[in-house]
């Protein structure tokens, strides 16, 4: 069941927009690193370049866009008043942006001071975000399935942040940390928990609303986030206690995890297939790409469980990472930005131009579908090349990096264009005399 939106609670446009506009810059930086280092970046998941570009994508792009979306969605959907929203958003954004850049440079250059700068900045960013969201959510009226999923996602983020800070402390202050075990848990809670659960929770609202589909089955919305969070917790405990050995309970929790994500993928594809508008818009195409990538990632995970030698290959972790981070998470965020940003620009212009001679443009004029569709094709080409480069890095890494850089630049340009339209109409309205 969808919640009623309370647009009177919406924060100023600058609150989410600052996150949305800078997110593509980190994706461009990741593409530049991949282009510069070439096949060396994909030689091992532990290479400095691989670690740097991974965190540019997960912190710089995904976390930035998701933080902006959270501050917007919680105000509108849950009716939460963010305390001093513009100041809060500015501090979170500054700490997250600087922290992600410092961490990536720390991995690339191997400089201890950069890790010592990055850790407190990122802890501050996520600490403030978690406090603001948790304070509002636990006081929010009602317990909808979407809010429950977001609460689980925030709990997963808290765990991922603690684990990530512990791992980074080894580089920053040489603290004794069981690095591989901590990193394994950090990746699971960060990607499957924080990213996965937040996308699932937000999908309960935005897929029926923006894609004009039937609502999700109650059996899915009620149980999926709970099962995934519990399975991730069981998997983490067993993986820690068994020290990497495969056990029956470990295998069962793994099956529940990839089974749960597969249920989400299949259910959402089914809903999109039965949407009331037969012609897919650009965001529909991004959603389909995202869900197919997720299902492919889960299938690959199962193959890795069945064929341990394949799971130990150089390409396996890169294939999983590319499919989940770029294929699933990046695709869906890219697509949703094309719905959220033009809508917010239109909404704020409508409110601010009321009573004047200047009329606000409609959403399609702010960002035409043809523009988004062109960037979608570039994104799919980049995704396919990235997947292929994980298998044949010596031949395709540079081409994949260029394609991903072009797609990310294109996304950033399109979002900046919407921001310029907003400013241009406000400037025009200010220069136009109000009729007596």
Cβ burial of 134 (10 Å; 0-12, 13-18, 19+) is middle
Give the residue carrying structure tokens 């924060």.
Answer: 11
Tens of pLDDT, residues 143-167: 789 999 999 999 999 999 999 999 9
> In a 3-state reduction of DSSP, which class is residue 217?
coil
140 DSSP 8-state letter: S
Give the integer Cα–Cα distance in Å for 249 and 432.
69
Q: What is the pLDDT of residue 15?
A: 95
Give the integer Cα–Cα distance in Å for 228 and 253.
9
C-alpha of 110 from chain center: 27
Q: What is the pLDDT of residue 279?
A: 86
CB 30 within 8 A of CB 382: no
Domain parsing of the chain, residue ranges: 1-142, 145-278, 303-425
Give the residue carrying structure tokens 């999700």.
Answer: 216
Give the integer Cα–Cα distance in Å for 275 and 287.
13
Residue 34: both structure tokens together: 């991949």
Q: What is the pLDDT of residue 359?
A: 82
Q: What is the pLDDT of residue 2?
A: 56
Q: What is the pLDDT of residue 302?
A: 93
Q: CB within 8 A of 84, min separation 6: which ones?
A: none
- pTM comes to 0.96
Which segments in the chain show pLDDT lower than 50? 436
Give the integer Cα–Cα distance in Å for 99 and 122.
5
Name which of 289, 245, 291, 286 is nearest 268 in CA terms: 291
CB 258 within 8 A of CB 287: no
């Amino acid at each position: 069941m969808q919640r009623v939106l309370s647009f009177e609670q919406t924060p100023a446009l600058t609150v989410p927009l600052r996150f949305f506009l800078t997110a593509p810059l980190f994706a461009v930086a990741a593409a530049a690193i991949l282009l510069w280092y070439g096949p060396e970046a994909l030689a091992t998941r532990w290479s400095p370049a691989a670690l740097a570009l991974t965190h540019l994508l997960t912190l710089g792009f995904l976390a930035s866009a998701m933080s902006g979306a959270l501050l917007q969605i919680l105000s509108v959907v849950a009716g939460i008043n963010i305390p001093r929203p513009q100041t809060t958003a500015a501090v979170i954004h500054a700490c997250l942006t600087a922290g992600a850049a410092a961490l990536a440079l720390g991995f690339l250059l191997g400089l201890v001071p950069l890790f010592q700068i990055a850790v407190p900045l990122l802890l501050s960013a996520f600490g403030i975000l978690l406090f603001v969201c948790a304070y509002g959510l636990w006081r929010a009226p009602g317990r909808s399935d979407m809010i429950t999923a977001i609460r689980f996602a925030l709990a997963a983020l808290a765990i991922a942040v603690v684990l990530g800070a512990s791992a980074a402390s080894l580089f920053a202050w040489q603290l004794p940390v069981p690095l591989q075990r901590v990193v394994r848990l950090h990746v699971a809670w960060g990607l499957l928990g924080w990213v996965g659960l937040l996308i699932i929770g937000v999908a309960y609202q935005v897929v029926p609303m923006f894609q004009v589909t039937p609502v999700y089955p109650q059996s899915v919305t009620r149980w999926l986030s709970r099962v995934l969070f519990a399975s991730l917790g069981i998997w983490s405990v067993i993986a820690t206690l068994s020290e990497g050995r495969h056990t029956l309970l470990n295998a069962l929790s793994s099956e529940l995890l990839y089974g749960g994500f597969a249920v989400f993928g299949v259910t959402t594809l089914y809903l999109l297939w039965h949407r009331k508008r037969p012609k897919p818009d650009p965001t529909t195409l991004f959603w389909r790409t995202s869900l197919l990538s997720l299902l492919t990632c889960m299938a690959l995970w199962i193959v890795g469980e069945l064929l341990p030698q394949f799971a130990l290959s150089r390409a396996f972790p890169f294939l999983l990472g590319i499919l989940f981070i770029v294929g699933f998470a990046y695709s869906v965020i890219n697509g949703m930005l094309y719905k959220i940003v033009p809508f917010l620009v239109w909404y704020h212009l409508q409110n601010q131009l009321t009573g004047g001679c200047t009329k606000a443009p409609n959403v399609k004029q702010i960002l035409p579908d043809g523009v988004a569709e062109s960037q979608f094709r570039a994104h799919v080409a980049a995704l396919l090349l990235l997947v292929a480069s994980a298998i044949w890095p010596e031949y395709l890494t540079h081409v994949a990096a260029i394609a991903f850089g072009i797609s990310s630049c294109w996304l950033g340009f399109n979002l900046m264009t919407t921001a310029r339209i907003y400013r241009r109409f406000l400037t025009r309205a200010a220069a136009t005399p109000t009729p007596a």
